[in-house]
Amino acid sequence: MCDCLKKIGDKLQSMLMEKVPDNAEVSKGFDTGWDNTCYSLSSGGMMVMMKYRLAYRAKKKNGEPAKNLTRLENNLKMTYCPICGEKQD
Ligand SMILES: [Zn+2]
């Protein structure tokens, strides 16, 4: 399995770090890094996912629309690396 996401991610982070003030603390959580990726337990690498979202407003028992949207989503794993085209397992 290729390591494109790691290599390109490291380059992008280096470029972005040039804009980060010296005294700033970079977040290590989900705020830093790729969106739409997941860790594959079988291969030990990162895999790219596309997320499809659907939101709907249900009706309450009295027929009025609910105040909040109900959200559903489903992920689709990409078969090939979007950077080099290598097949992902
Ligand atoms: Zn790749």
pLDDT for res 81: 92
pTM of the model: 0.70
Query: What is the distance between the alpha carbons of residues 9 and 34, in angstroms, rounded to a whole number?
Result: 7
In the chain, what percentage of residues exceed pLDDT 90?
75
Amino acid at 31: D
- What sections of 1-89 are H helices per DSSP? 4-17
Give residue 45 CA to ligand 1 midpoint distance, Å. 11
Which residues, by Cβ under 5 Å, contact ligand 1, an ion?
Answer: 2, 4, 81, 83-84, 86
**Residue 89, pLDDT above cutoff 80:** no
- Per-residue pLDDT of 20-47, as tens digits, reads 999 999 998 888 999 988 888 887 888 8
Sheet holding 37-39, edge to edge: 37-39, 46-56, 70-77
Helix, strand or coil, per DSSP, at residue 47 = strand
Give residue 2 CA to ligand 1 midpoint distance, Å. 5
Query: What is the distance between the alpha carbons of residues 5 and 44, in angstroms, rounded to a whole number?
Result: 13
Helix, strand or coil, per DSSP, at residue 85 = coil
- What is the overall mean pLDDT for the chain? 92
